[in-house]
Structure 1
Amino acid sequence: MKLLPAIDLIGGRCVRLEQGDFDRETTYDDDPAAALAGFVEGGAEEAHLVDLDGAKAREPRQHGLFVDLAMASPLKLQVAGGFRTHAQVERVLLNGVNRVVIGSLALDDPALFSAMLADFGPDRLTLALDVRVENGVPMVATHGWLTGSGRTLDAVLKDFPLVRHLLVTDIARDGMLSGPNAHLMQDIAERFPTIELQASGGVGGLDDLTVLRATGARRAIVGKAIWERRFSVAEGIAHARG
């Protein structure tokens, strides 16, 4: 399993939100380029960046920053937030970004997302599904976790047979450092073996990475635990690899 250290961006600052709540923001660093350089020093090969302003506005806000960071860093960057059109995705993929994450757009316009998968290829796109587990069933939320879609994770995945990369966030765990939802991640990994699962939400310590690795997840997205120095990037990478 690979560790992807994460940076959430608001106004160019590195921040973290608790459970996606913009009123529960903590700023950690004003220099995302320096943060990425720190990830490189720790041995990271990839990183995960989110334009939170764009996710909230449902249009690009910091995509220029994505491009600047991608062009300057040796890391493979996976970026998310505010993507609504084919041209917006193409812009960053042609300018150094490795993979684009699509979330709400896939639910709002499944035909467009399917066309993107065909045009850019399934290795260049990640489908992000943010879920709330209700009565044991993962239900998908949209638009920065503000709206319930009324659809299950399984139902959404059936719409996109080309998907190869899937990022699943358990909303109840995100930013809480309370441990990942291992049962959810293992269930998804076992039932969709052709998909490379990225697990997000809840990692608070190195033991949590050991737990996630055992679920079959291929990548772990970790933000707050790194920013709050629960463990270093190097330590996280070593535990994720096993």
Structure 2
Amino acid sequence: MIVYPAMDLMGGKAVRLKQGRFDDKTAYDTDPVEALRAFQDAGSRWAHIVDLDGARAKAPIQHELIRSLAASTSLSLQVGGGFRDAGHIADMLDAGVERVVIGSLAVQQPAMVNGWLNDFGADRITISIDVRMSGGQPMAAVGGWAEASDRTLWEVAAQYADLRHVLITDIGRDGMLQGPNFKLLDEAVERLPHLAIQASGGVSSVEDLKRLCTNGVIVGKALWEGRVSLEEALFVARA
């Protein structure tokens, strides 16, 4: 399992949100460059970075900062937030980012996103499907998690024949340190065996990591608040 230590950026600073709410955030003093260096020193090969300002504005607000971060590290970066056209994707890939994350557009404009998968390659794009559980069904959310769609996780994923990487977030678990939605993630692994699934939302302990059966896991707040050390998480993931 690949561990993706996560860093969300607002105004150039590292923050974490609760359940995607921009009015409920925790800011950290760590410089983003230093954070990436710490991830690398711990033995990580990847980092997951989100431009929260870009996600909210639906435009690449902090992509220049991310460009400089990519130049500062040998880590493979997976980056989300603010991607709205092929030019944005090309700019980040040219800057040294390994993979970009497409969220709401993957739900709203599958034809366009399928074109990007074809143009850039399935290994360069991760589709992020954020869900709220409703009546036992994982319903996809869009617009920075503020809007509901009428499609399930399974219906969205079925629109992508060439997809390889998918990130699944249970919004209700994100930033809450209450453990991942194992039932949903186990079902996803069973129903989508052709995809490399990344789990996101709720990781609070090393025991959570031991329980996951996904290809990858995003570790954010638990890492930033010292509940999980990256070294230990990486050790468990490789065991």
Aligned ranges 1:33-112 → 2 under 5 Å:
33-112=33-112
Aligned to 1:220: 217
> Take 2:59 and 2:145, find their aligned partners in 1: how far apart are those partners?
16
Shift of 1:107: 2.1
Distance in 2 (CA, whole Å) between partners of 1:234 and 1:203 is: 15
Alignment correspondent of 1:118: 118
CA distance in 1, matches of 2:72, 2:132: 36
In the alignment, does 2:239 pair up with 1:235?
A: no
Q: Aligned-pair distance for 1:231? A: 1.9
CA–CA distance in structure 1, aligned partners of residues 14 and 100 of structure 2 = 19
Matches for 1:160-239 after TM superposition, within 5 Å: 160-212=160-212, 215=213, 217-239=214-236
The aligned amino acid for 1:144 is G
User: Partner residue of 1:15?
Assistant: 15
Aligned equivalent of 1:150: 150
Deviation at 1:160, TM superposition (A): 0.9
Report the Cα offset of residue 23 of structure 1.
0.8
User: What is the deviation of 1:109?
Assistant: 1.9
Task: Look up the SS of the partner of 1:198 in the other structure.
Answer: strand
5+ residue gaps, structure 2: none
Q: Distance in 1 between matches of 2:109 and 2:173?
A: 28
Amino acid across the alignment from 1:38: A
8 Å contact from structure 1 (residues 140, 153) kept in 2:
yes
Q: Distance in 2 between matches of 1:231 and 1:198?
A: 18
Q: Per-residue displacement from partner, 1:139-162 (whole Å, max 9, x unpaired)?
A: 000011000011111111111111
- Distance, in Å, in 2 between the alignment partners of 1:173 and 1:241 is 25
1:30 CA drift (Å): 4.7
State the alpha-carbon separation in 2 of the partners of residues 241 and 115 from structure 1. Answer: 34
Aligned residues: 239
TM-score under structure 2 normalisation? 0.98
C-alpha displacement of 1:55: 0.3
Tell me the amino acid that sits aligned with residue 13 of structure 2: R
Please give the alpha-carbon distance, in whole angstroms, between the structure 2 residues aligned to 1:238 and 1:133.
Answer: 32
CA RMSD of aligned residues (A): 0.8
- Would the aligned equivalents of 1:12 and 1:30 in 2 still touch at CA under 8 Å? no
Percent identity between the aligned chains? 50
1:47-98 deviations in Å (ceiling 9; x for gaps) = 0000000000011101111111111101000000010000000000011000
Give distance in 2, aligned partners of 1:46 and 1:125.
Answer: 15
TM-score of the superposed pair, with normalisation by structure 1: 0.97
Amino acid across the alignment from 1:236: A
Deviation at 1:27, TM superposition (A): 0.5
CA distance in 2, matches of 1:238, 1:225: 16
- Determine the C-alpha separation between the residues in 1 that align with 2:29 and 2:67: 19
Q: Which runs of 5+ in 1 are unaligned?
A: none
Structure 2 distance, partners of 1:108, 1:186, is 25
Task: Give the counterpart letter for 2:230 in structure 1.
Answer: V
C-alpha distance in structure 2 between counterparts of 1:186 and 1:71, whole Å = 36
